[in-house]
């Protein structure tokens, strides 16, 4: 007598054997709200709002100095890269993560994890990196304002936090405008 596998999980196992089919089905089915909610409620797809985005210390306001040290190290590395490139235009595109782009979703995550919004700041790593880059006179391509200006509540895929076509279109416009000024 073996372990009884629920029918929907059996379908997932079959699809996983053919990764391309699984990827297509998963990315397209989760775009249908009723199907997405059904699959999420049964644990077959995750609610990305409840998943950690990066290391917890990055958003912990008591670790601001650690975040700034890490950001400075990253900025130093990028400044060295810029020096190697010489006169070639160099800039860094800062992409906000899901929780920074959508503060209400970060609040949902904090509530789920039992964390206080007073002790967490989703913007902290982003601001630290931007400040460190600007202090080294590295061009920063800022896309956050343009993404937020769309008012679109779903610029990332439903099943992960990567930008979808709508998000990429906004980012491409900002980057294109930046490149056009170089």
46-82 residue pLDDT tens: 888 988 888 889 999 999 999 999 999 999 999 999 9
**Does residue 132 sit in the same domain as residue 142?**
yes
**Does residue 75 sit in the same domain as residue 38?**
no
Q: Which residues contact 150 (CB under 8 A, 6 or more apart)?
A: 166, 170
Give CA–CA dist 20/46, Å, rounded. 19
The 10s digit of each residue's pLDDT in 117-153 is: 999 999 999 999 999 999 999 999 999 999 999 999 9
**Does residue 52 sit in the same domain as residue 37?**
no
**Does residue 76 sit in the same domain as residue 143?**
yes
Place of tokens 């990827």: 23
pLDDT band (50, 70, 90) for residue 13 = confident
* pTM assigned to the model: 0.79
**Does residue 127 sit in the same domain as residue 167?**
yes
């Amino acid at each position: 007598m073996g372990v009884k596998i629920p029918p929907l999980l059996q379908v997932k196992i079959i699809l996983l054997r053919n990764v391309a089919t699984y990827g297509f089905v998963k990315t397209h089915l989760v775009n249908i709200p009723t199907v997405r909610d059904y699959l999420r409620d049964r644990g077959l797809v995750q609610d990305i709002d409840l998943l950690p985005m990066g290391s917890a210390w990055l958003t912990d306001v008591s670790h601001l100095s650690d975040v700034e040290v890490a950001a400075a190290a990253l900025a130093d590395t990028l400044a060295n890269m810029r020096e190697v490139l010489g006169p070639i235009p160099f800039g860094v595109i800062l992409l906000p993560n899901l929780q920074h782009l959508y503060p209400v979703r970060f609040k949902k995550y904090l509530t789920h994890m039992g964390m206080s919004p007073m002790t967490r700041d989703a913007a902290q790593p982003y601001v630290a990196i931007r400040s460190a880059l600007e202090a080294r006179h590295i061009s920063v391509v800022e896309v956050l304002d343009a993404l937020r200006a769309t008012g679109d509540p779903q610029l990332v895929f439903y099943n992960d936090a990567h930008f979808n076509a709508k998000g990429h279109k906004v980012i491409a416009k900002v980057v294109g405008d930046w490149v056009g000024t170089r």
